[in-house]
Structures are given as C-alpha cells and as structure tokens.
Amino acid sequence: MTTAPKAVSDDHVVIFDTTLRDGEQSPGATMSHEEKLEIAALLDEMGVDVIEAGFPIASEGDFNAVSEIAKNSKNSVICGLSRANFKDIDRCWEAVKHAARPRIHTFIGTSPLHRAIPNLDQDQMAERIHETVTHARNLCDNVQWSPMDATRTEHDYLCRVVEIAIKAGATTINIPDTVGYTAPRESADLIRMLIEKVPGADQVIFATHCHNDLGMATANSLAAVEAGARQIECTINGLGERAGNTALEEVVMALKVRHDIMPWTTGIDTRKIMNISRRVASVSGFPVQFNKAIVGKNAFAHESGIHQDGMLKNAETFEIMRPEDVGLAATNLVMGKHSGRAALKDKLRQLGVEMADNQLQDVFVRFKALADRKKEVYDDDILALVQVSDDATPDHLILTDLTVICGTGGQSADMTMTVDGVAKTAQTSGDGPVDAAFNAVKEIFPHEAKLELYQVHAVTKGTDAQATVSVRLNEDGRIVTGSSADTDTVVASVKAYIHALNRLLVRRGKVAAGGDEREISYKDAG
C-alpha cells in the first residue's frame, strides 16, 4: 500500500481538536448529545481542521454523536477513535463515513508498560499494527495512527512501528505524550529523530498530542512543531483527564502573537475563541481558572495602578494581544430593564455570541427577570444567562417555591417542587441555608447520587451580583453536572442541583433503554 502524499503546506499547522473525545473523557466532563453537536458546530465554524468527535465503539451515545456530527460537518475533517482491532475500526468507520471528509484514528500502546496490557511481544504488536492500519486504510483514505505512550517507548521500536504504520497506509502519525512526561527539548528531539530516521516520513504528517501533567503541554506541542510536526492535538480550555490536554487557545494564540519566531499559521478564526471557551466551560461543568492564559477572566484585566496608567497611554505597554483578537469585546454599555430584544441581540453579538431566535427569546425572558431585580446588568451577567439558558434537558423536577430562614438562630428550608407535574413539599433544616435547601430536595426526591462538587462564583462585583453555581453528582459512576445563575445564591444552588438531577434522570433512562453508558475505556488498548 502506498501512502497519500501530505495534504498541507509546510507553513500550515493542522489544528486537531479532541475536546469531544479526550476532553469529554475527563470524569465529570460528560456532555449531552445536543451539547456535543453544538460544540462540534462551533469548532467547525472557527476553522478547526480536524474534529475528533468521539470513540464510536465506547457506547451507543458516542456512536450516535459521532455519526450526527459527521453528517452535519461543513469544513472540518471528522475523526473517530478506535483501538487496534477490526471491530473497533469498522464501528468507527460506520460513524465517520457520513462526513464529507472522514478520518479513522486507530491506536495502540507501544511502551513496555502498555505492551504488557494486551500481552503482546514486540513482533506480535508490529503485526497487529500492520493488519489494523491496513484494514483502516482499506475503508478510508485518511487514517491516523498513534503509538500511545510514545514518549516512553524505546526509540528503535518506535521507529520500527511508525515505519510499519506508514507502509500500511497511515497518512498522519501522531506521537502522544500520554502521561505528560516529556519536556520541550525532548519533544522536539523525538519528532526530529522520527522524521530523520523513518523511511517514508516525508510522505505523512507528524502530529503532537501532549498532556499537561507537568504544565508543559503547550511548550511541548510548539517544540514539536519547531522540529517538523504539522498537526497539534488540543482541546478548548485544555479540557481533559488529570491536568488536561494542550489548550487550543494557547497554541493558536502563541503561533499568532509570536509569528516572528514561530512562522507557522493555523486556519483558526481567533475571534471565536472566547465564545467557545465559555460554552465548553458551561456544558462540561469545568470552569476556567481566573488567571488561565488567553481565556481566563483576568487574562486581559489590568487592575494595578501602574498597569492602568500605562494602558491608558498606550495599550501595547502591557498588552501583547488585543482582547478583540480572541473575541472579547470592550463594551461598556450597561443594560437595564428598559433595554429591548434588539439591544440584547446586539450586545450578545458584540460579546461574540450568535443565537437562534428561539434561544434569544429564552435569554431575553431571563434578562428581563434579572433586570427587574438588578439595576445594572453587566456583560458578565448576560453571559451567565446565556451559559445556563439553552439546555434541552427535560424538566422532570421543577422548583416552584423556596423560602429559607437563616441567621444565628439556625437554618431551615420550606420548598415546593413538582416531580413530573405533581407538586410536593418539604420542610427541612441543615448546616447552613444551602444544606437545608439541598436536604429538602433529597426529601422530595430521594436518591443515592453523591455530591462531588459544589461551586459558587459571583459573576460581577457588588452585593447584588448574580451567583453562578455548578453542582456535580455521581450515581454509580454516572457523573453529571448542573449549573444555574441567580441573584439569590440559595436559589441558584437549588436550581443547579435540580438541573444535575434532571440530567441524571436522562442518563438513567438512556441506560435502561439500551445504554448510553461508556462500557469501554480507550485505555483498554489492543
């Protein structure tokens, strides 16, 4: 089998986004079907070259999401992950084949530790790689192969298996730093060594896939590009297991801002970065750390006197990129209860959020309710409304009334909630108002789910600020996240809790009907 020639020019770096596969694999980051489609559409629109949409053999849910994303794709290549066996690869192809530009990604762990899992010796594994890549290439002319844990694989063996994969027809060779162990110089040396030593290396694209366990994922990815890699695998906000993956926004902005020393381009419309970052944070339930590079709340905030003074004289004094380059509009127009739909729509557009009319109506209703209670509604308030608004989860449980008593005399809650349309009430006490209110939810709707995360953020300054609350629940390994926003912190907390329970009910239903649960982990390689 001959390989297809490289499809990109030498100065273009392919951006391969794996938010929906490696990112979504992170415990607690599970997204609903609709959310995955929404994120895939945003990735496609922002110019991501390849979207890794999921792991089709893992569950019916993954398969359906990848197929649907493939059908809806406009420009991006749609890729699915598969282990090194024919059944996985066939299932992957069934899902991605609907895309205008499909890709099969197949992998196997090649380091000594990973070879021990399927109990294959070096020769047996080499044979498996030859068979599976050949099989994938007979189905699809765009095949990516990854030696998992490449950075801890013996160099001779790595060269040998990469050569086999190229000869069998792989068009992209991805070199994963699965456990986030490598460092920039080593990352570059490894890619350089493969390009120099492996016959046929000039016919394929080398990719870098870094995890961030030592905080070096971005540096390692860029070093790999310096050495000749032309595909970076990454996720929005660096989402992913443990310390996450390389953050898309970081590598893309580094290549843009430091084009003088890293002369490679990407096809990403960087003005779409903030919007997708917020959506991924919201649907995954993984908030972005305030001082996170590029997309953190403080990334462009200059609060110290010296900085503010410098910024007023010349923005370049302290700013290496403009907020608007990443889709952060400098809008100071405060909204209030007299602002209409058109003003809200315009404000959202300035904030980089495009919405269909039905979604806008939902946000508008919430905006009016908020403006009635809060004199001035700021940009962050509006973004908080957007983040909790467009969720298609059916409301089995709805909060209809809540009175909480708190203070030095103790805390209690009096709650009414409908459960599938039937009103139920409870009076409970607890250690604090939120605990009392959560106890009421448990009394009305008994369940075994454990609270794994309860997180509150004030959206703006001031005591009338909205609180955004995230709640993560775990029921027998099914992990769901709920979120809500309200000027009343206890109400926001209860709504986030109920949102998570509603999502749990959907997950339970899907399992009962044939399984959305992931039965297979990508770590069971082989």
Residues at the interface with ligand KIV (CB under 6 A): 22, 107, 146, 148, 174, 176, 178, 209, 211, 522
Give the shortest CB-21-to-ligand KIV separation in angstroms: 8
Measured in whole angstroms, the distance separating CA 170 from the mean position of its chain's CA atoms is: 27
- Residue placing its CB nearer to ligand KIV in the complex, 182 or 393: 182
- Residue placing its CB nearer to ligand KIV in the complex, 106 or 275: 106
- Residue placing its CB nearer to ligand KIV in the complex, 116 or 312: 116
Quickly list DSSP for 23-67: ITTSTT----HHHHHHHHHHHHHHT-SEEEEE-GGG-HHHHHHHH
Site string for Zn ion, 7-46 (x = CB under 5 A): ---------------x------------------------
Residue given tokens 């962050």 in the structure block: 380
Nearest position to Zn ion, beta carbon: 22
Rounded Cα gap, residues 242 and 239, in angstroms? 9
For strands 478-486 and 467-475, give the pairing.
Answer: antiparallel
Give the shortest CB-205-to-Zn ion separation in angstroms: 18
Give the shortest CB-182-to-ligand KIV separation in angstroms: 12
- Residue placing its CB nearer to ligand KIV in the complex, 149 or 381: 149
Question: Which has the closest alpha carbon to 191: 159, 166, 167?
Answer: 159
- Residue placing its CB nearer to ligand KIV in the complex, 148 or 232: 148
> Is the separation of the CB atoms in 66 and 80 below 8 Å?
yes
> Is the separation of the CB atoms in 53 and 65 below 8 Å?
yes
Please report, for residues 149, 153, 159, 412, the alpha-carbon distance to residue 175 in angstroms, rounded to integers and kept in the order given: 8, 10, 11, 56
Please report, for residues 421, 424, 468, the alpha-carbon distance to residue 400 in angstroms, rounded to integers and kept in the order given: 11, 10, 19
Rounded Cα gap, residues 28 and 31, in angstroms? 9
CB proximity list for 464: less than 8 A, separation 6 or greater: 373, 374, 375, 487
- Residue placing its CB nearer to Zn ion in the complex, 245 or 393: 245
> Is the separation of the CB atoms in 278 and 379 below 8 Å?
no
Give the shortest CB-332-to-Zn ion separation in angstroms: 41
Give the shortest CB-289-to-ligand KIV separation in angstroms: 22
- Residue placing its CB nearer to ligand KIV in the complex, 178 or 220: 178
Record the tokens describing residue 429, joined without a space.
Answer: 């006490």
> From Zn ion, ligand KIV, none, which one binds at residue 32 (CB under 5 to 8 Å depending on kind)?
none
SS3 of residue 524 by DSSP: coil
Give the shortest CB-203-to-ligand KIV separation in angstroms: 21
Give the shortest CB-210-to-ligand KIV separation in angstroms: 9
Please report, for residues 238, 252, 296, the alpha-carbon distance to residue 247 in angstroms, rounded to integers and kept in the order given: 4, 9, 12
- Residue placing its CB nearer to ligand KIV in the complex, 476 or 519: 519
Give the shortest CB-178-to-Zn ion separation in angstroms: 6
Rounded Cα gap, residues 398 and 309, in angstroms? 50
- Residue placing its CB nearer to ligand KIV in the complex, 54 or 176: 176
Record the tokens describing residue 329, joined without a space.
Answer: 């509009």
Give the shortest CB-24-to-ligand KIV separation in angstroms: 12
In 24-142 the beta strands, taken as DSSP E runs, fall at: 50-54, 77-83, 102-109
Question: Which has the closest alpha carbon to 331: 312, 316, 342, 347?
Answer: 347
Residues engaged in binding Zn ion (CB under 5 A):
22
